[in-house]
Structure 1
Amino acid sequence: MQTPTTLDERIKNLVVAVGEDLRRQLSGALRTLRQADNPRGVIVETSSIALVLIRSLLSLSGRKPPSDNLFDCIECAVKERLLPAEIASYLHNPRFLSNKADHAVMSITPSAHDAEILLSQLLRFCEWLYCDSEHGPRLPSIYSGDPSLMAELDRLRQELIEQGQRRREMKRESIVGLRFADIGGSFKDRGDEMSQLRRLLAEQTVKMVSIVGRGGIGKTALLAKLFAEIESGALRLSQGAAGMGADGIIYISCRGTDRPTVERLFHDVGRVLGCPHDETLMACWRDASRSLGEKTRFLLSKLREGCYLLVLDNLEYILADDNTIADRELKDFVDICLTTPHSLRLVTTSRNRVVVSEGGMKETRTVALDRGLPDDEAVAFLRDLDHGGDLGLRDAAHDSLLEAARCCYGVPRALESVAGILSSDPSLSLEGLMGDAGLFNDHVVKNLVAENYRRASDDQRRALEALAVYNKPVTSTAVRYLLRPHYPEIDADGTLRALARNYFVSCQRGRSTYELHPLDQQHAYGLIPESGAYSRSALHRRAAEFYAELRKPPGEWRSIEDLEPQIQEIHHLICAGLYDEAAR
């Protein structure tokens, strides 16, 4: 094989064989060297790419990679006769970093010459993998299509198309947005708070009810329990509502890309009211001659009768430092809602108390979740978490469970993490876990979340990191797609099911989607490397590509919901720092 003389030519020669993604990463490493003059960054990037490729060589040959250590994987590939010693010598270079932990602590101060040598050696390995004239490619492009994955993407795209068609056939939608997961019989106590919420929502003068409490205390679970009653009709807030206890419900999570805008609220209220109100509302919104106040009052004039509910979950994500709503238009919309007669109720959850205008304060009420579950309820909750009795909780002595409940301050997420840790380590007893005094202090929730993550397997950590990148409910296909270029051997379905059993992720059975609790999402996301082939930016780029695969054909573009894949794609491109691509 004739070897091109420059790095640029060698990368260009690889394009057809390796695919666009790997070419982009190799070209990016070269730019890091030449434009940013950052040899350290080149070494991080090339080491990450080498690890991905060598792990893929093992996985696609039916061998399980021994670890995330590059040199361990090289030795395994040589031992299995997948990698000649001559080629292995190109990678077994002390300039390469052995694993992700070394990316943060580099024992050498590399020069530009060191980085160029390393990139050249990585290219030699790629040329052997993909461009050998005698043997042909030894490794199919790890970025090429997987037939089963492509078929699943086709199915998801078709589901979105059919959902849009069904939505257009409906005269109106009584529920808009992603409903809460069914918490079933796991909900405990909160009787006083439930009674308070029922009473406040029935009061005509109350326009906004906020549930406020620390992370993991159970705010969303409380709201899910309340709205299950409303959806079933057990709690009736409008006598004229058919089937439900309210005339319409709009669910919005303020996490990730689902953050509310006033334009979206106009659209969602239109969906609840149906034709012809949806068209008149959007025409009002597009009318440049009207002020925001005039537009908002027109919308509220459509909601004079009955009871309509707007749910804003995790409101803290859209609050400014002074706890006012950061988006000026949305802030003004809420302030007008609090001072204008109508039948719309705002219901929010937040870690912080939202600050509203002085004129709207008397129409606002706060339900504070400032305590964990009572002792008896916390003990019962721990027993319920051990359905099969395998964790030693269901049949444990009352005093042992009581001690655990009190050390967790009765916080539901902390109690779930205790069960998760015991589930992931069959050799660990409750007493053994409680013996770790460093876990049980004022930061017990965060400590247990971190401990649960630490005890997770490598495959589970990668799945958690994938969910953290998406930061919204997604299917196992989304996780599989995100991880495939880096960890093609991971069984996404099995791994996610195990995580759900370990109370690490929540699963909505009807939708077959998985998501992380906000505390777990923040922890997992914070541990993803900031640079390299496997990094936050690389994963966000891959997430953007996933949503690009789900785009509907232009003939199906009838409303903003039909463009949801594009919206998600743009969001992840921005998170990846690819602003030019996001603007196209």
Structure 2
Amino acid sequence: MMEFEEGLKVADEALFTKVGRRLTEVEIAILQGSWQSLTYEQISDVSSYSVSYLKRDIGPKLWKLLSEALGEEVSKSNFRPALERKWRSLLTTPTITNFPVTNSRQDWGEAIDVSIFYGRNPELITLSQWILQDKCRLICLLGMGGIGKTALSVKLAQQIKDEFDYVIWRSLRNAPPLENLLNELVLFLSNQQDNKAELCQLVQYLRSHRCLVILDNLETILNANRAGYYRSGYENYGELIQVIGETAHSSCVILTSREKPAEIATFEGVELAVRSFRLNGLQAEAEKLFTAKGLFGNDVDKQRLIECYGGNPLALKIVSTSIQDLFDGNISEFLAQNTPLFNGVRRLLDQQFIRLSASEQTVMYWLAINREWTTVSEFYEDI
């Protein structure tokens, strides 16, 4: 009988073959819970995801993707037999050792699905120009959690991938040691021929080929109490960033982060090969998200809702689900409650706030207390 780990591998490879990406954490959580015959409510209890997010958003999309990847209709209740049939077919076919790879020179790792993507056209145009015309070597996408850095990096890479010999997307969410990351990058860029996990080897491949490398969630290796600096044991990432920014090569490395590394601040410039791009919230585009979530209201209420959450896409998705569940999609009724902070939105802010130093947290407290524009001198007196 097939074990869950084997079934997960089959699902992951089938999805990668079909759409060029791996299973995400939330998709794995749904598969694992469903494997154990748990309801969406029970999966929600053992994970950090809301029931509505699992049941109405990610779940249906996952079963649809797996149906396409496995070539048969699957659902939460019958996906196990489908995976087992696929597994057995691989075991009984000696000539097939693995799923075919759609493009051996593209590795999307855990890149998220961006088939549904709202706005960001000006940002995509600017970043594409920086990379393709200005030949930037290093770009850092900056913004608070949930603002859409990851989604933008994937969408951008998909749009310009044909301009590169190699494309590789990697998440640093689990804080891999630099040696592990270098090993993955060098192996991929050498077509699995070179296992020398050294920075000089990586630079050699960045010079000899036109490569697009995206490293997501850089903030996980940064020191939460000292802006721009690294966690203990990860200081060598600073050398990686410095060398990529300083050394002449024909490739582009994109970093996404909530905080700017010190090396970026040192080497960046509006006309230099190292640049940073701060991502702001959605504005008019957010109304498309409301429509997709089944919300309704007048233009004034929609704009109030967008401003309340700074146009943060993740916060707006969280609140939209709650408005649909509790107020039947009526934005006006939700705003009348005057309770913008709850559950997932609070967790999102807590994740950001906890990374601030004690001094930075004090600044944030006084900004919240004053509630109005404050001069530097008045702010100094307050603190």
Q: Which range, TM-score by smaller chain?
A: 0.5 to 0.7
The separation in 1 between residues aligned to 2:168 and 2:303, in whole angstroms, is 39
Is there any run of 5+ residues in structure 1 with no aligned partner, and where? Answer: 1-59, 69-147, 232-243, 286-294, 387-391, 452-517, 524-584
User: Distance in 1 between the 2:152 and 2:249 partners?
Assistant: 26
Paired amino acid for 1:367: F
Instruction: Report how far residue 343 of structure 1 moved.
Output: 2.5
Residue 269, structure 1, aligned to residue 186, structure 2 = yes
Once residues 289 and 81 of structure 2 are traced to their aligned partners in structure 1, the CA distance between those partners, rounded to angstroms, is: 41
- Residues in 2 aligned to 1:152 and 1:171: alpha-carbon distance in whole angstroms: 22
C-alpha separation between the residues in 1 aligned to 2:289 and 2:241?
Answer: 37
What does residue 251 of structure 1 align with? 169
The 1:324–1:202 alpha-carbon spacing in structure 2 relative to 1, beyond 3 Å, is farther
Structure 1 residue 166 corresponds to structure 2 residue 84: no
Could you tell me whether the CA contact under 8 Å between 1:418 and 1:448 is conserved in 2? no
Which residue number corresponds to residue 178 of structure 1?
Answer: 109
Q: Deviations over 1:521-564 (max 9, x none)?
A: 969xxxxxxxxxxxxxxxxxxxxxxxxxxxxxxxxxxxxxxxxx
- Work out the CA distance in 2 between the residues paired with 1:158 and 1:309: 37
Aligned to 2:245: 338
Residues 1:377 and 1:154: Cα distance change in structure 2 (over 3 Å): closer
DSSP 3-state at the match of 1:356: helix
Identity of aligned residues (%): 22
Give the counterpart letter for 2:167 in structure 1: I
Separation in 1 of the partners of 2:79 and 2:291?
39
Q: Which ranges in structure 2 are unaligned for 5 or more consecutive residues?
A: 1-36, 46-77, 353-383
The one of 210, 220, 226 aligned to 1:317: 220
Report the Cα offset of residue 337 of structure 1. 2.0
Q: In the alignment, what sits opposite 2:21?
A: none
Match of 1:226 among 149, 156, 162: 156
State the 1:154 CA deviation. 6.2
Deviation at 1:420, TM superposition (A): 0.6
Alignment partner for residue 146 of structure 2, among 187, 195, 216?
216
SS in 2 for 1:353: coil
Give the whole-Å Cα distance in 1 for the aligned partners of 2:241 and 2:166.
Answer: 18
Report the counterpart of residue 9 of structure 1 in structure 2: none
Query: What is the distance in 2 between the residues matched to 1:384 and 1:191?
Result: 19
Counterpart-to-counterpart distance in 2, 1:210 and 1:357: 7
Distance 1:336 1:186, change over 3 A: closer
- The C-alpha deviation readout for 1:323-372, integer Å capped at 9, x for no partner, is 23441333322222222222232101111112117874454210011x32
Question: Are the equivalent residues in 1 in contact too, given 2:324–2:330 (CA < 8 A)?
Answer: no
Matches of 1:351 and 1:360 in 2, distance apart? 18
- Superimposed CA distance per residue, residues 244-285 of structure 1 (whole angstroms, 9 cap, x where no aligned partner): 22111111111136x3633432333322331xxx33x31x34
Code of the residue aligned with 1:373 in structure 2: it is L
The question of whether the paired residues in 1 share the 8 Å contact of 2:112 and 2:154 is answered with yes
Aligned to 1:437: 338
Q: Equivalents in 2 of 1:357, 1:417: separation in Å?
A: 32
Corresponding residue of 1:365: 275
Whether the 8 Å CA contact 2:135–2:250 is kept in 1: the answer is: no
User: For residues 270 and 316 of structure 1, do their structure 2 counterparts lie closer, same or farther at Cα, with a shift above 3 Å needed?
Assistant: same
After superposition, the C-alpha distances for 1:381-436 in whole angstroms (9 at most, x for unaligned) are: 322332xxxxx42xx32233222222222222222122210232365732221122
Distance 1:336 1:416 in 2: 38
- TM-score w.r.t. length of structure 1: 0.40
Count of residues in correspondence between the two structures? 269
TM-score, normalised relative to structure 2: 0.59
* Letter of the structure 2 residue corresponding to residue 206 of structure 1: C
2:28: which partner in 1? none
